[in-house]
Amino acid sequence: MIGYEKAIKTWKPELCIVVGDVTSTMACAIVAKKEWVKVAHVEGGISTNERPKQFLDILGVGKSLIRMTFERAMKLVPADHVFIVTNKKYKALVMEHLPELPQENILCEPSMNNTAPCIAYTALRINALDPNAVFAVLPSDHVILKEEEYVSKLSQAFDFATSHEAIVTLGIQPTRPDTGYGYINYQKETIGNEQIHKVISFKEKPDLATAETYLESGDYLWNADAKDIIVISNNHKQIVIKGLKDYIVVDEENALLIYPKSDEQEIKGVVQKLLYDKGIREFVESARQIKAIRQDVEFWVVGELDAENPATIDKDDLVRWVDEDVVYYHGFIKDVRSIIAQSDCIVLPSYREGLPRIVIEGMSMAKPVITTLTAGCAETVDEGINGYLVNIKDIKGLTTAFNEFLSLTHDRQVEMGLAGRAKAINEFDDKRIALEIFNLVE
């Protein structure tokens, strides 16, 4: 207890979180109460891989940490401007805790990734929606006690990032020579009339002697974690990040993220209207054949049942396909880009088309394509270069195309996707087509 008392008197925390129910937990809680410090108790082992801490009511206030983070964000933006990046295994939990959040705003990683790729992924998704957007990156598991002050600082950061091409991070005024934080060395002079300081450098967690030097100088702040709480102006035209497991490819005009396939699953995405003449019956039967010999493949269906269209698939068929675990049905999603981003391949075995927009969208996001030798579709694919072409109503041919794609290395799949993106830009760009039509009319 003497050690706890010394630590609490030295550090003067606003909150003491104790974990478990051992003797040391009780000792720390008693000292904290004696020094008039708030105490929060977390049951030991309550956070699990199936339900991580962000989905728990750690503070006993009837809200999970992710819920509290979401509500703080909504003091600055509406719910449909909030995006959650998480692993796909937690999508249902996110929907449970944040029912107001549009489903398409949950960006699911196919594999576990670090913070930087997640931030980059979100930046590119937001940039596609609004190239002039400014966004903040907020951890879902932080405990924020002074919420009004926190929101005020974030609002100030938003204003600055809106008027400057800048990345703004929050620093915390240090009260002790703590070796558990990184530090930010900053200029004392503010930028204009703003309460914003230019960062000189970021320092890794120091030893005690170095931390004491930082504290004495007055030129350092604790790093709230530059990779966590940041506000970014989203008008950079070229970013290239390459990690051990993630590839992000960006050109001067557009940006896209290419994820490697998960070690656990390979994913096929079909995004289309739920019509029989879009080839969905053939898609399902081919999926059934693939899944009979492989369990590491998912086949996704996205779309809406249109009762007024006589070609709409029967609801009972869809229910049966889902119950048999042949396909995963995402339902109707207004903005399908998040689904395309998580897919390895776009499949459209249609009987007839004009120019298939979903295929062009998939190509523009560097996704290989499997489609049919019918007018409109056939023009989108160079066989074996950016995808595969099969005859209409040809289940055997479609299954062969699936197997061909599944046999490719990841690098080859990436090459195929990039070839499709180049083709989409060079041959199917809306502005280019509009200009050609204009020139013909003129």
Q: Which CATH architecture has domain 45-143?
A: Alpha-Beta Complex (3.90)
Q: State the pTM of this model.
A: 0.50
| Confidence check: pLDDT of 225 > 60 | no
Give the DSSP H or E segment for 40.
strand 38-42
pLDDT band at 380 (very low <50, low <70, confident <90, very high): very high
Highest mean pLDDT pick, 25-29, 305-309, 336-340, 349-353: 349-353
**Closest C-alpha to 242, from 232, 250, 230, 252:** 250
User: Which residues, listed in sequence order, are joined to residue 297 by a DSSP beta bridge?
Assistant: 266
The highest-level CATH class for domain 280-434 is alpha beta
Query: 7 burial class (0-12, 13-18, 19+ CB within 10 angstroms)?
Result: middle
Cα separation, 44 vs 65, in Å, equals 17
Cα separation, 109 vs 258, in Å, equals 11
pLDDT band at 169 (very low <50, low <70, confident <90, very high): confident
More confident residue, 187 or 239: 187
**pLDDT at 392 (0 to 100):** 94
Domain ranges in the chain are 45-143, 166-234, 246-274, 280-434
Residues 6+ apart with CB under 8 A from 63: 57, 71
| Confidence check: pLDDT of 230 > 60 | no
Phi (first) and psi of residue 284, to 5 degrees? -65, -45
pLDDT tens figures, 313-338: 888 898 899 889 898 888 887 777 77
**What percentage of the chain carries pLDDT values higher than 70?**
81
Average pLDDT of span 383-402: 94
Q: Are 150 and 144 in contact (CB under 8 A)?
A: yes
Count Cβ atoms below 10 Å from residue 91 Cβ, excluding itself: 15
Least confidently predicted of 234-243, 297-306, 357-366: 234-243
Q: Which residues of 244-268 are buried (b: 16+ CB within 10 A; e: fewer)?
A: eebbbbbeeebbbbbbbbbeeebbb
**pLDDT at 43 (0 to 100):** 62
pLDDT band at 255 (very low <50, low <70, confident <90, very high): very low
| Confidence check: pLDDT of 214 > 90 | yes
| Confidence check: pLDDT of 267 > 80 | no
| Confidence check: pLDDT of 200 > 80 | yes
**pLDDT at 249 (0 to 100):** 35
pLDDT band at 273 (very low <50, low <70, confident <90, very high): low
Q: Are 341 and 320 in contact (CB under 8 A)?
A: no
Q: Are 379 and 428 in contact (CB under 8 A)?
A: no
Angle at 81 between CA 164 and CA 347, to 5 degrees: 110
Q: How many alpha carbons lie under 13 Å from residue 143 in its C-beta half-sphere? A: 15
pLDDT tens figures, 91-129: 999 999 999 999 888 888 755 666 777 777 778 778 777
Cα separation, 353 vs 278, in Å, equals 9
pLDDT band at 79 (very low <50, low <70, confident <90, very high): very high
- Which residue type occupies 82? V
Give the DSSP H or E segment for 24.
helix 23-34
